[in-house]
């Protein structure tokens, strides 16, 4: 892939991930959440603290990422924990390309 500011979509297998991160308003926030979960699977309160974002914002983006099956929500007793899904891990190389693309913008 050429190292320029525009991604050639025909080279990406997971266009849904591109749409989730690049095209959708709020994609950068979703990306920040995914980045944090790749390093440290955790709950929404801890994410809000770590990213200095409102809890409701975190929950909104988690809901979207879970709906698209890039993040998995698991219930443990009284709380939910979030971690990257197998789908995200399978597409991690493309995620990193998309992430790099956004950082250059």
Q: Report the DSSP beta bridge partners of residue 74.
A: 81
What are φ and ψ of residue 63, in 5° steps?
A: -60, -45
Nearest by Cα to 21 from 88, 89, 80, 90: 88
pLDDT tens by residue, 38-84: 999 999 999 999 999 999 999 999 999 999 999 999 998 888 999 99
Single pTM value for the model: 0.87
CA–CA distance, 87 with 101 (Å, rounded to integer): 20
pLDDT band at 7; cut points 50, 70, 90? low
The pLDDT assigned to 76 comes to: 87
CA–CA distance, 84 with 28 (Å, rounded to integer): 17
Per-domain boundaries in the chain: 25-104
Fold annotation for 25-104: Arc Repressor Mutant, subunit A (1.10.10)
CB 30 within 8 A of CB 21: yes
CA distances 98 to 27, 54, 63, 79, Å, are 11, 25, 21, 31
């Amino acid at each position: 892939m050429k190292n320029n500011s525009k991604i050639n979509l025909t080279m990406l297998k997971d266009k849904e991930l591109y749409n989730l991160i690049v095209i959708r308003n709020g994609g950068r926030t979703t990306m920040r959440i995914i980045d944090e979960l790749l390093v440290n699977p955790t709950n929404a309160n801890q994410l809000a603290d770590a990213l200095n974002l409102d809890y409701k914002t975190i929950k909104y983006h988690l809901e979207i990422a879970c709906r698209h099956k890039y993040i998995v929500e698991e219930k443990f007793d009284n709380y939910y924990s979030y971690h990257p899904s197998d789908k995200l891990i399978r597409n991690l190389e493309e995620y990193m390309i998309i992430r790099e693309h956004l950082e250059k913008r």
